[in-house]
Chain A
Amino acid sequence: MTAEERAYLWLCGCTSLGDRDRAALLRAADPAEILLHAETIFPAVLSGEHEIPPYDRRMHDADAFLKMLAAKHYFALTPFSEDYPEPLRHISLPPLVLYGLGRRELIRGRKFCVVGSRTIPPWAEKAGRDIAERLAEKFVIVTGLAEGGDSAAIAGALGSGNLISVLPCGLDCCYPAAHASLKEKIAERGLLISELPPWEEAKKYSFHARNRLLAGLSEGVFVLAAATKSGALITANCALEYGRDVFAFPYSPNVRQGEGCNELIKCGAYLVTGAEDIFSVYGIEAGEKKEIALSGEEREVLAFLKESGQAHPAAIAERTGKKIFEVTAILSALEIKGAAVKAGGNQYSAAE
């Protein structure tokens, strides 16, 4: 590890500094210089008092920190690292250090971001899962770790392992806490990334900062669900700012979780109903879609579902002349085969 990288790690460990302070310091001097002559550079660049340890301590702190990272199998990327993601260099306030846990090679792949708000209709979640699963064949999926849209993307991409989850907290922590086991799974099969030191808890503002990384890392951002005020929209805004493509899943007008998506489409975002729509924008040949084998009566019920959008088994029973429990069995079969999805209130809809 070079002196510059050491300096970066040390600077990031100085918790009394903000991002802007660090950026100002780095504009003023080389990182290695800062490490050597902090006593003179700090007061010259920054306003306010800063307690600055002597040089020996600084070196020692950086070494101890590196040892700690190694012990936990974390790795740290700085702009000096060879595999520091190129697109990130061009966003405002690129992270000085990225901490990672998992398959480091994923950071070099083609990355595509899938996000969505935490509350999301079951059919949209199902669609998101399927789209993420197919996207993961060609891209590394970048997303967060929350419920709803993030979970859908994770569920879709985890199988292939082409998944980067960017945390709003340090790698030691987990937000939301209920996803601790999911986080472990991602560390095993995919990659976890955070710009915060490992011990840092999630703060209100860290979500906003994290969203800029989601957009910054990726070639495009697909918004699966977003109300008019939603973190997913912040990610989309960052994407526009950084010149990335924005994609959105369409909703019918009265669905609250889809208002933001529809707004994005009005403003010119690509409308996405399947992974092909995204592949075609990037000129990627999409693989063959798997055909689901269905029986005659399953096809009949599925056709009715597609026709009516959302239906209760009782309505299907009335239409097809079957008994209600026969319809339940067929719907359950469709659900297991992945052709239908159950929403709340015993409503079913087609999922293709």
Chain B
Amino acid sequence: MIAKVKCYALSGLEGVPVEVETDVNKGVPSYDMVGLPDAAVKESKERVRSALKNSGLLFPMNRITINFAPADLKKEGAAFDLAVAISLLKASEQLVGADMGGTVFLGELALNGDLRPINGLLPILISAKSHGYSRFVIPAGNRSEARFLGGAEIYPAENLTAVVRHLLGVSPIEPLETAEYVPHAGAKTSANLKYVKGQPLARRALEIAVAGGHNLLMVGPPGTGKTMLARCLPTIMPDLTFEEALEITKIHSVAGVLGEEGIVTERPFRTPHHTATTVSMCGGGNKVVHPGEISLAHGGVLFLDELPEYKRSTLEALRQPLEDGKITVSRAGGTFTFPARFMLCASMNPCPCGNYGSSERTCSCTPAEIRRYRKKISGPLLDRIDLQVEVDDVAYDELTSTGEQEHSEPVKERVEGARRIQRNRFGEYGIVTNAEMGERELAQFCMLDREGNDILRAAFERMHLSARARARIIKVARTIADLDGCEEIRPKHVFEAVSYRIFDQM
């Protein structure tokens, strides 16, 4: 008898339907698998055999052929175990009368019959739902992740026996209740702007950067709280909407970094170390293509501490994703596109010794050393960082002061106000923030009056700004005006925007 059971494979962030067909024939006992299974899939043979035996079920001593369709798709991982076991049971007539039509089986088996959680469950469920499937049997360990998919019957099972008893109707499993999405449920971060001492200029830069979706570079001596400031960025960003949260969760699920709560409710904050390779940053891998740090930072912040220490090639690889908001990874096994719309926040010292420009300490670097240090960051990358701010050397008195600092919450409110203005403005243009504006939008929404143009011209002559800094300054000025609730860009907005281009002058 031939049995067919539905399962899903993962390709990038998309689920691909796979049918597990099992044929049990009379003949010399054998057990074959066809249909491009990789090593982990082939090994499911032994896991399934043991799991069946240890669950008190029968492993048929016949000629068994298992086929994975479509045959041309490479199957990887252990997520097919449950489907193989169920199809074997059905083909050997141990599941007579069970209703399995339209059910998708997902899960890895342990030798004792327990179901182990799998990576990438949520993207599979989302794809399968869009393909018209509405009943799923999943490992109980994936319960928290699957809770948020509404409009489907999802049965979390502890082990193979429970699945069989459920299918036979002996003891049905309770379907999962759809959970309500609450932003910041079980918030992990303890960062808050109230803990940051002083730094009024950097605070303002943070606010502008988040309000307009600009990238940010903080330059300052070591130990001045650059990292702490950066950690506060997610706390002043707008809450994740459910759609955003689902998208981020999909990526984190595929990468296997999803936490206990099952859905990402906070904006991600990723801090890859400067030894990170280009592949770990952008995504890749030999057979299975994993999303990289920039995709894990999707919807949140990618924080690069000590920017000049990163490998040049790694930094240059960020340029295209910074423009497009996605990364396409091409390997022999296929081409995968991962979303990567993140806010880049970087920090660096002003010079190798860290004291350049400090009023307290003396810098011991020669001009050539400083030039070499700064040259490690290419112009094109710097060009994509709209805001550059110097972080103050905090005096000891300020560190120990107990004076009240502004909390993250009011800042977040102002940011949300500015974002609302931008949403209304860009409604039909397919962009969300000022930072994404192209030439067309710049011409339409950022007309400077004569005074504004004169200021910019004077600024260029005085401060030796590069020509490409112009568009950046105007975008930042637009955001500052939005924060101010101002329809047109006033001279004071332009002036302030100019002060955030320190690198063009250095």
Binding site for B on A (CB under 8 A): 118-119, 147-148, 176, 178, 256, 310, 312-314, 317, 324-326, 328-333, 335-338, 342-347
Contact of A324 among B204, B356, B366, B393 (CB under 8 A): B204
Q: CB distance A345 to B358 under 8 Å?
A: yes
Binding site for A on B (CB under 8 A): 198, 200-201, 204, 350, 356-359, 362-363, 366-368, 371, 390, 392-393, 455, 458-459, 462-463, 480, 491-493, 495-496, 498-499, 502, 505
Q: CB distance A328 to B201 under 8 Å?
A: yes
> Which A residues touch B357, using CB under 8 A?
343-345
Q: Contacts A178-B371, A256-B362, A345-B359; is A336 near B496 (CB within 8 Å)?
A: no
Contact of B458 among A118, A337, A346 (CB under 8 A): A337
Q: CB distance A333 to B200 under 8 Å?
A: no
Separation of A310 and B357 alpha carbons in the complex (Å):
13
Separation of A330 and B496 alpha carbons in the complex (Å):
8
With A178-B368, A312-B392 known, 6 other A-B pairs at CB within 8 A are A324-B201, A324-B204, A325-B496, A328-B499, A329-B493, A337-B462
Q: List 23 A-B contacts (CB under 8 A).
A: A118-B367, A119-B366, A313-B201, A325-B480, A325-B496, A326-B492, A329-B493, A332-B496, A333-B455, A333-B491, A333-B495, A335-B462, A335-B463, A336-B458, A336-B459, A337-B458, A338-B462, A344-B350, A344-B358, A345-B357, A345-B359, A345-B392, A346-B390
A295 to chain B: closest residue by CB: B491
A325 to chain B: closest residue by CB: B204
> Which A residues touch B359, using CB under 8 A?
310, 343-345, 347
B454 to chain A: closest residue by CB: A336
Separation of A147 and B367 alpha carbons in the complex (Å):
7
Interface of A is mostly: helix
CB distance from A340 to the nearest CB of B (A): 11
> Which A residues touch B492, using CB under 8 A?
326, 329-330, 333
CB distance from B306 to the nearest CB of A (A): 19
Q: CB distance B459 to A314 under 8 Å?
A: no
Q: CB distance A328 to B496 under 8 Å?
A: yes
Q: CB distance A331 to B499 under 8 Å?
A: yes
Interface centre among A326, A332, A337, A344 (most CB of B within 10 A): A344
B372 to chain A: closest residue by CB: A178
Separation of A342 and B350 alpha carbons in the complex (Å):
15
Q: CB distance B200 to A336 under 8 Å?
A: no
Q: CB distance B495 to A332 under 8 Å?
A: yes
A333 to chain B: closest residue by CB: B495
CB distance from B429 to the nearest CB of A (A): 28
> Which B residues touch A178, using CB under 8 A?
368, 371
A178 to chain B: closest residue by CB: B371
Q: CB distance A332 to B499 under 8 Å?
A: yes
Separation of A251 and B392 alpha carbons in the complex (Å):
24
